[in-house]
């Protein structure tokens, strides 16, 4: 199975995938890593692992559609089986969504359907939640609203701040992403009208 990873930032989730592959836990080939930000530190992680990198800088496009079309063309060139959004902070448009429907997953730091969008740690704390977590879901036109594939949950502790919660969640989030990508490498996972099946059986 071939995978293209989209990033915008530090790329610790990308690193988790790279490490899992190097440890032979993941049987996959990285086609390329694509970032919308030229200065994303995660690009160096990819280069150090020998993965081709491409920057599609969203600030260089007249509008969201033009960026989306170029991004779709760039990703399509490598014909990946799976597209993984790992800390990719742009909202995708129809070109990406249609081209990679059922083949594109996103990691989101909340127990979806709670807290779509940003600032999830602060919002969970302000709501007095006793648990927080991360989800991997299929990407659809609805922001952070596609069918959920997998989740990890951790307890909120007394005195937690958004930063503490994020730091405690991070390693669990990395494990979740690796385990979910591993699922894709072993089974023909499909997203069918809001439900998820593996080998034609519901998850």
Residue 64 labeled ligand binder: yes
- Per CB under 6 A, the list member of 80, 87, 133, 146 interacting with ligand GRF is 87
58 in catalytic set: no
Residue 102 labeled ligand binder: no
133 part of the interface to ligand GRF, by CB under 6 A: no
**Residues 113, 152 contacting (CB under 8 angstroms):** no
146 part of the interface to ligand GRF, by CB under 6 A: no
173 part of the interface to ligand GRF, by CB under 6 A: yes
Residue 89 labeled ligand binder: yes
Residue 176 labeled ligand binder: no
Residue 106 labeled ligand binder: yes
How far is Cα 132 from Cα 161, in angstroms, rounded to an integer? 12
Interface size with ligand GRF, residues (CB under 6 A): 15
Give the contact letters, 45-84, x = binds to ligand GRF (CB under 6 A), - = no. Answer: ----------------------------------------
Task: Tell me which residues in 4-23 interact with ligand GRF (CB under 6 A).
Answer: 7, 9-14
SS (H, E, C) the chain: CEEEEEECCCCHHHHHHHHHHHCCCCCCEEEEEEECCCCCCHHHHHHHCCCCEEECCHHHCCCHHHHHHHHHHHHHHCCCCEEEECCCCCCCCHHHHHHCCCCEEEEECCCCCCCCCCCHHHHHHHCCCCEEEEEEEECCCCCCCCCEEEEEEEECCCCCCHHHHHHHHHHHHHHHHHHHHHHHHHCCEEEECCEEEECCEEC
**Residues 90, 16 contacting (CB under 8 angstroms):** no
Q: Which of 58, 108, 137, 174 is catalytic?
A: 108
Task: Tell me which residues in 100-119 interact with ligand GRF (CB under 6 A).
Answer: 107-109
Nearer to ligand GRF, 9 or 78 (CB): 9
| Two tokens, residue 37 | 């930000």
Nearer to ligand GRF, 7 or 189 (CB): 7
Task: Tell me which residues in 25-44 interact with ligand GRF (CB under 6 A).
Answer: 42
Residue numbers belonging to the annotated binding site for (6R)-10-formyltetrahydrofolate: 64, 89-92, 106
Query: What does the binding site for ligand GRF look like in residue numbers (CB under 6 A)?
Result: 7, 9-14, 42, 86-87, 107-109, 134, 173
Supply the residues annotated as catalytic. Answer: 108
């Amino acid at each position: 199975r071939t995978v293209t990873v989209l990033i915008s930032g530090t790329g610790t989730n990308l690193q988790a995938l790279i490490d899992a592959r190097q440890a032979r836990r993941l049987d996959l080939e990285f086609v390329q890593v694509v970032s919308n930000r030229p200065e994303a530190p995660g690009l160096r992680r990819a280069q150090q692992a020998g993965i081709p990198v491409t920057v599609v800088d969203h600030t260089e496009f007249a509008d969201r559609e033009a960026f989306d079309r170029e991004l779709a063309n760039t990703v399509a060139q490598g014909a990946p089986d799976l597209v993984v959004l790992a800390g990719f902070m742009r909202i995708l448009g129809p070109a990406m969504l249609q081209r990679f429907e059922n083949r594109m997953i996103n990691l989101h730091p909340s127990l979806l359907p709670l807290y779509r969008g940003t600032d999830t740690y602060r919002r969970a704390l302000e709501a007095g939640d006793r648990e927080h977590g991360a989800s991997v879901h299929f990407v659809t036109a609805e922001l952070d609203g596609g069918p959920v594939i997998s989740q990890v949950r951790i307890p909120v502790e007394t005195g937690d701040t958004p930063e503490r919660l994020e730091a405690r969640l991070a390693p669990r989030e990395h494990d979740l992403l690796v385990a979910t990508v591993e699922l894709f490498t072993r089974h023909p996972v499909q997203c069918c009208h809001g439900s998820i099946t593996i080998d034609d059986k519901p998850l």
